[in-house]
Chains A and B, each alone.
Chain A
Amino acid sequence: MTAVADVVTPDARKAGRGLYWAGVILLCAWVIIPLYLLFVNTMSSPDTVNSFPKSFIPEFNMGSLEFFMGFQGMLRALWNSVLVALMTMVMSIAIGAPAGYALSRFDFRGKELFRLLILLTRAFPLPLLALPLAVLFIRTGLDDTAFGLALVHTTLAIPFAVLITFSLFSGIPLELEEAAWTLGCTRLTAFTKVILPLVLPGITASAIFAFVISWNEVFAAAVLTIENRTLPAFLLQTLGEAPLHLKFAGGFILVVPALIFIFAVRKYLFAMWGIANR
């Protein structure tokens, strides 16, 4: 312990711990309470949703969800969402993983700048790009196609794909690759026979994350598609005037798959920020 710590009185330390836990609880509540309310309202009958006072216990009334399953255009939007997300997933890994490998294994000029610039692509506001993009897409015939939208989503997902795979590859000792080289491998076969099997779980996680980014994205989807809307864009369009209980159900349908996916790959997302969580 340092000299500074010795000066801290037990009272101050106790207060500090209290503050810490208050912070933890506040942050958890920040995330969990809206989700819980969403869940409760989705599982309630229309009357309960609109009545007052609110109940905090779900009724397990499936009416709203059942309505959605039969809703016109809903399945088509769901299919579009999956299609776009799958394409985003494949493209962001195909482009992001080699970049991550290069960042972790080679030294080149401007490497640090490159890492920074990757993050900066996220700092570019999408609304600013929306109009030029829409014009460009109409000119090239990419507008209102799943592939066109997947291109935009890939741009959004690539920074994460690069950073996650960078940390994955960095976690694999160079010695393993060197050993493979001395045992008769080329750079390529060493990669396919040694590195790839080891990073595959992490790559999968990174791919799922790209999937979720695409799944959740609504702005570009709403601007760039008309007929072939993805689920978020479709819900945004159709639920504007819908009754409250259907809005809740729509939100619920969107949130749950994303939550499940993120939960499945949380370990690798921590790794991305350099936090060991094993």
Chain B
Amino acid sequence: MAEIRIKNVAKNFGSYQALHDINLTIADQEFMVLLGASGCGKSTLLRIIAGLETATTGEVWISGRRVDHLSPKDRGISMVFQNYAVFPHLTVFENIGFGLRMQKLPDDEVKRRVERTAGLMHIEQLLKRYSGELSGGQRQRVAVARALAMEPDVILMDEPLSNLDALLRMEMRAELKGVLAESRTTAIYVTHDQVEAMSMADRISVMHQGKIVQAASPIEVYRDPAAEFVASFIGNPPMNFLPAEAAGSGRWTVAGQSFEGPANGKDLKWAIRPEDLRIADQGFGARAKVVEPLGAHLLVTCDVEGHQFRAVLDSELSVKPGDVLTLAPQEGRGRWFDPETTLSVA
């Protein structure tokens, strides 16, 4: 059982506070993604769990054992780094077997494990090569194989795919997900790429300015963002926001349309995903400004009462800039946010 508990962890770099009071529990065998823009503290949090960085305050527990005073090698973790960190003076075989040799395992056991993990990552044919003779994608595979060969309780990954080209990244994404599910390890995966996060995670922790804004399943993060930041960070294009005016007893007026909403509150923001809009007889009057045919869809950037408003529409439609569309939101997809706290309100 490799459950990870992070209790009240904070980190200061001098006067700069990188992490504020983080509390997070990651279940055994869960695939947790830490998602956020660069500088949000996600890598720092991962490095604190790994033991490469010490928390200013707070505790880290792995498998019911407090580890924040232990060195990385005693935490039962292994890690995959952004730049792969494949040792250039060793062959692929010795790279994958490095940790096993450090544990002083017998030669035949090292050989068995190296060959098994190399097989898992499809690099059996590269075992005799040096890292200088490998492509970026191959190095990535070596780095993952090396981490897996340790058979760790927890595997930590710091933007492992960000140095690969787009096609390879997509391929590796699916492969990594499969291999990790099979290995039954708890995984923490840091990325700034929301597609990676959505497609791989059991749960996503969205981080912003050193805090976890929301920790929930990918679909929940997408459908029910806990804060405006999540709504505008996740999804491409992001959610549309319009100001809402109270019209009494849980009724709200948004750009001339009447909606049922939260029972109380003064001024709220109403939000909708661009793909939850469709052309209808009744709805927002939206003047198209930019029309971008994306093949699968048509992305139309419009103006609704002076606010920017995007809609993802059927690619068969013919829309020109200047056209006035009538857009209606799909039932039950609108969300409400309090502009003061920026948090979601039900």
Contacts and interface: CB of A to CB of B under 8 A. Distances in A.
Are A and B part of the same complex?
yes
A173 B83 contact: yes
A194 interface: yes
**Chain A, interface SS category:** helix
Contacts of A175: 81-83, 85
B81 A181 contact: no
A181 B85 contact: no
Given A178-B52, A197-B89, A183 B73 contact: yes
B150 to A, nearest CB: 7
Contacts of B249: none
A189 B98 CA distance: 12
Given A173-B83, A175-B83, A197-B89, A183 B71 contact: no
A182 B103 CA distance: 12
Nearest to A176: B85
Interface residues of B, number: 23
Interface in B33-87: 50-52, 71-73, 77-79, 81-83, 85, 87
Contact of B79 (A182, A185, A198): A182
A198 B88 contact: yes
A123 B167 CA distance: 57
A198 B85 contact: no
A184 B103 contact: yes
Contacts of B150: 183-184
B50 A182 contact: yes
A204 interface: no
Contacts of A179: 79, 81, 85, 87, 146
Count chain A CB atoms within 10 A of each CB in B71, B82, B85 and give the residue with the most.
B85
Contact of A185 (B51, B73, B78, B81): B73
Given A175-B81, A189-B102, A181 B87 contact: no
A193 B146 CA distance: 16
A187 to B, nearest CB: 8
Contacts of A186: 71, 73
A2 B73 CA distance: 53
B99 interface: yes
Contacts of A189: 102
Given A175-B83, A175-B85, A198-B89, A185 B102 contact: yes
Contact of B77 (A176, A182, A185): A182
B88 A182 contact: no
A77 B81 CA distance: 54
A183 B50 contact: no
A197 B130 CA distance: 14
A186 B73 CA distance: 7
Given A173-B83, A176-B87, A198-B88, A181 B102 contact: no
Interface string B93-109: 00000110011000000
What is the interface residue range for chain A against chain B? 10 to 19
A181 B71 contact: yes
Nearest to A181: B72
A178 B73 contact: no
A198 B99 CA distance: 18
A254 B324 CA distance: 90
Contacts of B146: 179, 183
Which of the listed residues B72, B81, B83, B146 has the most CB atoms from chain A within 10 Å of its own CB? B72
Contacts of A180: 87, 98
A185 B100 CA distance: 11
Which residue of A178, A182, A185, A186 has the most chain B CB atoms within 10 A of its CB atom?
Answer: A182
A153 B168 CA distance: 55
A178 B81 contact: yes
A184 B103 CA distance: 7
Interface in B104-132: none
Contacts of B73: 181-186
B71 A173 contact: no
B144 to A, nearest CB: 12
A123 B285 CA distance: 78
A183 B102 contact: yes
Interface string B274-297: 000000000000000000000000
Contacts of A184: 73, 99, 102-103, 150
A175 B163 CA distance: 15
A176, A181, A183, A193: residue with the most chain B Cβ atoms closer than 10 Å: A183
Nearest to B152: A182
Nearest to A175: B85
Interface in A163-203: 173, 175-176, 178-186, 189, 193-194, 197-198
A175 B98 CA distance: 15
B87 to A, nearest CB: 6
B87 A182 contact: no
A222 B81 CA distance: 55
Contacts of B82: 175
Contact of A182 (B72, B83, B89): B72
B16 to A, nearest CB: 15
Nearest to A183: B99
A193 B83 CA distance: 19
Residue among B77, B79, B156 with most chain A CB within 10 A? B79
Interface of B: 50-52, 71-73, 77-79, 81-83, 85, 87-89, 98-99, 102-103, 146, 150, 156
Given A185-B73, A189-B102, 12 more contacts: A175-B85, A178-B50, A178-B81, A179-B85, A180-B87, A182-B73, A182-B77, A183-B150, A184-B73, A184-B150, A185-B102, A198-B89
Q: Considering the complex of A and B, which 5 residue pairs feature the smallest CB-CB distances, nearest first? A: A184-B102, A183-B99, A179-B85, A175-B85, A181-B72
6 contacts: A175-B83, A175-B85, A178-B79, A181-B51, A184-B102, A184-B103
